[in-house]
């Protein structure tokens, strides 16, 4: 079976790998010059199984209202005269209902748990290196009111089979001495024991190289422009290369893994995907005091900031901005991340030499990705991974390979059913 994968980010590269392992002849079409150069380039690095709760939860509307008008707010909504943005915002509100939140959290947790296991198996079988860090994620709490909800969160995680524990500040510093500088701020910590971290861009590159060895063909600098449809099924994709040459590529199945651009491509097929680009920022700063740099990945829940040690660098990422496909960097947004680093881990990394980056999370209202067949014949979706595309990558890649080849995917997850 010949399969064409559109996009070589985390979703596309993992789809290609697992499809090739299933015996398919795979071609990946990517408009950039290499794998993982858009949203999968400089994310927070977390494999965060212990944080399955989506942004859309019963507390979100009040939190978002509180942040309105603050330029450095963790979540910023810039209204546009864009029906897609308003449709998405309304759907987001609907996903804040308690029942929807439970459903979405459960679905994400099942896929995330499976995905982390797939990642570990992949690492063991291929030996790929991507600055992986194990030992868990520490969720930091500085406000007693926020920390009061943690026992209930722990119970939810335990019910979902996710190992986690509550630590007091001294226990947290004993586990992660890199927290010593912020000891005085902490009221408590939730430790996601089996979480991991790693450099998503290096992962994409390393896995793409392995996939190439296994026979996958990558066509970089090639943009998919549109689909050709015959009798309600895709018969080919029109592409253009860097020299402006056009061509048509054909396959037996087409996996759409184009991140935030998936809905724009799907629109030409008459399919409306509920995905909106949610911009986030990161800085990658060289570590100047390795002794004091944390080894475990950190999450500051209240400020929506995460921090991961990747090789000789600290990656600090966060913030969410609903501002269309605008990829301009807003200095006020990255300044909030720099401030977090300087205040919580002073003298550990040099923010003045940091690489600044922003990317568009392909986000569905409930943060549950779209995995399964599209409405058009031969179309398959592996997209919409939002805030957790790195966490969910390997599980989603294996699942779409199963679906395309007619197998039933393993996790208990609301995969799209064939129509």
Ligand X SMILES: Cc1cc2nc3c(=O)[nH]c(=O)nc-3n(C[C@H](O)[C@H](O)[C@H](O)COP(=O)(O)OP(=O)(O)OC[C@H]3O[C@@H](n4cnc5c(N)ncnc54)[C@H](O)[C@@H]3O)c2cc1C
- The residue from 11, 269, 337, 400 that contacts ligand X (CB under 6 A) is 11
Using CB under 6 A as the binding rule, whether residue 389 contacts ligand X is answered as yes
Using CB under 6 A as the binding rule, whether residue 38 contacts ligand X is answered as yes
Using CB under 6 A as the binding rule, whether residue 400 contacts ligand X is answered as no
Minimum CB distance to ligand X, residue 148 (Å)? 26
Q: Which residues, in sequence order, are bridge partners of residue 308?
A: 315
Minimum CB distance to ligand X, residue 2 (Å)? 18
Q: Is the dihedral of CA 289, 44, 305, 299 positive or negative?
A: negative
- The residue from 265, 283, 293, 379 that contacts ligand X (CB under 6 A) is 265
Stretch of 16-24, 147-155, 384-392, 403-411 lying at the interface with ligand X (CB under 6 A): 384-392
Using CB under 6 A as the binding rule, whether residue 314 contacts ligand X is answered as no
Stretch of 57-65, 81-89, 165-173, 383-391 lying at the interface with ligand X (CB under 6 A): 383-391
Stretch of 38-46, 101-109, 330-338, 407-415 lying at the interface with ligand X (CB under 6 A): 38-46
Stretch of 7-15, 96-104, 161-169, 330-338 lying at the interface with ligand X (CB under 6 A): 7-15
Q: Are strands 25-29 and 217-219 parallel, antiparallel or unpaired?
A: parallel
Between 48 and 101, CB nearer to ligand X: 48
Sheet containing 370-373, strands listed edge to edge, beginning at the edge strand earlier in sequence: 217-219, 25-29, 2-6, 253-256, 379-383, 370-373
Ranges within 177-236 binding ligand X (CB under 6 A): 223-224
Using CB under 6 A as the binding rule, whether residue 348 contacts ligand X is answered as no
Using CB under 6 A as the binding rule, whether residue 306 contacts ligand X is answered as yes
- CA distance to 37, 320, 336, 370, per residue, from 76 (Å): 24, 6, 13, 24
Question: What is the three-class DSSP state of 306?
Answer: strand
Minimum CB distance to ligand X, residue 68 (Å)? 21
Between 196 and 402, CB nearer to ligand X: 196
DSSP string, 347-359: TTB-GGGPEEEEE
Structure tokens of 305? 């900031």
Q: Where are the alpha helices (DSSP H) in 98-184?
A: 98-126, 144-147, 150-159, 169-175
Distance CA 299, CA 277 (A): 22
Distance CA 65, CA 16 (A): 41
Between 169 and 385, CB nearer to ligand X: 385
Minimum CB distance to ligand X, residue 26 (Å)? 15
Residue with tokens 């993992």: 14
Q: What are the backbone angles phi and psi of residue 193, rounded to the nearest 5°?
A: -65, -40
Distance CA 101, CA 158 (A): 17
Among the listed residues 379, 267, 324, the one whose alpha carbon sits nearest the alpha carbon of residue 88: 324
Using CB under 6 A as the binding rule, whether residue 397 contacts ligand X is answered as no
Using CB under 6 A as the binding rule, whether residue 361 contacts ligand X is answered as yes
Using CB under 6 A as the binding rule, whether residue 371 contacts ligand X is answered as no
Using CB under 6 A as the binding rule, whether residue 333 contacts ligand X is answered as no
Minimum CB distance to ligand X, residue 168 (Å)? 26
Distance CA 325, CA 328 (A): 9
Distance CA 358, CA 21 (A): 33
Using CB under 6 A as the binding rule, whether residue 32 contacts ligand X is answered as yes
Minimum CB distance to ligand X, residue 170 (Å)? 27
- Alpha carbon dihedral 256, 262, 268, 271, in 10-degree steps, equals 80
Using CB under 6 A as the binding rule, whether residue 44 contacts ligand X is answered as yes
Between 8 and 179, CB nearer to ligand X: 8
Sheet containing 222-230, strands listed edge to edge, beginning at the edge strand earlier in sequence: 222-230, 233-241, 246-249
Using CB under 6 A as the binding rule, whether residue 330 contacts ligand X is answered as no
Distance CA 129, CA 35 (A): 15
Using CB under 6 A as the binding rule, whether residue 317 contacts ligand X is answered as yes
- The residue from 5, 24, 29, 173 that contacts ligand X (CB under 6 A) is 29
Between 31 and 110, CB nearer to ligand X: 31
Between 173 and 314, CB nearer to ligand X: 314
Q: Interface residues with ligand X (CB under 6 A)? A: 6-12, 29-32, 37-40, 43-46, 48, 223-224, 257-259, 261, 265, 280-282, 306, 317, 359, 361-362, 383, 385-391
């Amino acid at each position: 079976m010949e399969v064409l994968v559109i996009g070589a980010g985390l979703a596309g590269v993992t789809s290609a790998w697992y499809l090739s392992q299933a015996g398919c002849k795979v071609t990946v079409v990517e408009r950039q010059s290499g794998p993982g150069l858009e949203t999968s380039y400089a994310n927070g690095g977390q494999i965060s199984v212990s944080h399955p709760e989506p942004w859309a939860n019963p507390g979100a509307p009040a939190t978002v209202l509180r942040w309105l008008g603050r330029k450095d707010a963790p979540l910023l909504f810039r209204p546009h005269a864009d029906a897609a943005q308003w449709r998405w915002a309304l759907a987001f509100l609907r996903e804040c209902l308690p029942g929807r939140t439970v459903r979405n959290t459960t679905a994400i947790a099942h896929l995330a748990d499976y995905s982390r296991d797939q990642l570990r198996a992949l690492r063991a079988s291929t030996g790929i290196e991507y600055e992986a860090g194990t030992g868990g994620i520490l969720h930091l709490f500085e406000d007693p009111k926020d920390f009061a909800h943690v026992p209930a969160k722990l119970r939810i995680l335990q019910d979902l089979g996710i190992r986690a524990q509550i630590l007091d500040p001294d226990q947290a510093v004993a586990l992660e001495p890199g927290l010593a500088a912020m000891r005085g701020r902490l009221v408590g910590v939730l430790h996601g024991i089996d979480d991991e971290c790693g450099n998503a861009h290096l992962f994409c590159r390393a896995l793409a190289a392995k996939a190439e060895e296994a026979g996958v063909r990558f066509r970089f600098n090639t943009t998919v422009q549109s689909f050709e449809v015959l009798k309600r099924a895709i018969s080919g994709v029109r592409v253009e290369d860097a020299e402006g040459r056009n061509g048509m590529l054909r396959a037996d199945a087409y996996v759409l893994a184009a991140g935030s651009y998936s809905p724009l491509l799907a629109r030409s097929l008459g399919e409306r995907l509920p995905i909106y680009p949610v911009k986030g920022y990161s800085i990658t700063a060289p570590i100047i005091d390795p002794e004091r740099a944390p080894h475990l990945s950190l999450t500051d829940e209240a400020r929506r900031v995460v921090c991961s040690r990747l090789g000789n660098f600290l990656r600090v990422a966060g913030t969410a901005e609903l501002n269309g496909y605008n990829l301009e960097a807003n200095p006020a947004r990255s300044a909030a991340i720099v401030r977090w680093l300087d205040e919580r881990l002073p003298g550990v990394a040099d923010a003045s030499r940091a690489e600044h980056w922003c990317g568009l999370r392909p986000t569905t209202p409930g943060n549950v990705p779209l995995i399964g067949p599209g409405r058009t014949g031969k179309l398959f979706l592996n997209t919409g991974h939002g805030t957790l595309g790195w966490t969910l990558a390997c599980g989603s890649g294996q699942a779409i390979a199963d679906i395309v080849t007619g197998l039933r995917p393993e996790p208990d997850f609301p995969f799209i059913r064939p129509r």
